[in-house]
A = this chain, B = another copy of it.
């Protein structure tokens, strides 16, 4: 019989999982620090970054689509979205198919800020991916997709996962 009892006893298992929890905390803390610092110069915060990022990523997305991504309330979103519209970073247009919808696009100014913010996070991922190598990146993707609660969100990444 092969020594298949490779399942670790409870203690090392707990240690492994706790390290996962902590790595998530430290990585996310550092991942958000640079954009946060830049946003301060604009009088914006992390919530503005999220809106700018996802509007750039999904042009012409509706307000409710954005609410589905961010999972915050309409009132919370409207506060930051309203600022971004008033200050000329985001433009709203009526939906063709459904005229109740306000479809969101970045303006030129919005695209510039998006690029500035995303550059820091892209550089961070580029460094981490290059240092770890393609195989590690595939493993990272598998695990981080597994951490998500919803297939709806996992499906956003299907194109390159398969």
A positions within 8 Å CB-CB of B: 13-31, 33, 50, 53, 57, 71, 118, 121-122, 124-129, 131-133, 135-150, 153, 156-157, 160
| Cβ 8 A contact of A127, one of B13, B118, B146 | B146
Beyond A129-B143, A131-B142, A132-B142: 7 further Cβ-contacts under 8 Å?
Answer: A21-B118, A28-B28, A30-B150, A128-B144, A129-B146, A132-B139, A138-B139
Check A144 against B23 for contact (C-beta < 8 Å). yes
- Contacts A16-B160, A26-B153, A118-B18 given; does A132 touch B143 at CB 8 Å: yes
The answer to whether B122 touches A21, judged by C-beta atoms less than 8 angstroms apart, is yes
- In the bound complex, what is the Cα–Cα distance between A50 and B25 (angstroms)? 9
Q: Are A31 and B22 in contact (CB under 8 A)?
A: no
Q: Give how many copies assemble into the complex.
A: 2
A74 to chain B minimum Cβ distance, whole angstroms, is: 17
A146 surroundings in chain B (CB, below 8 A): 127-129, 131-132
Beyond A16-B129, A57-B18, A118-B18, whether A27 also contacts B139 by CB under 8 A is no
User: Closest approach, in angstroms, between the C-beta of A140 and any C-beta of chain B?
Assistant: 4
Q: Which residues of B have CB within 8 Å of A147?
A: 27, 30-31, 124-125, 128
Among A132, A135, A138, chain B packs the most CB atoms within 10 A around the CB of A132
CA distance in complex: A25, B29 (Å): 12
- Residues from chain B with a CB closer than 8 A to the CB of A23 are 141, 144-145, 148, 157
A61 to chain B, nearest CB (A): 14
- B-side contacts of A16, CB under 8 Å: 129, 137, 160
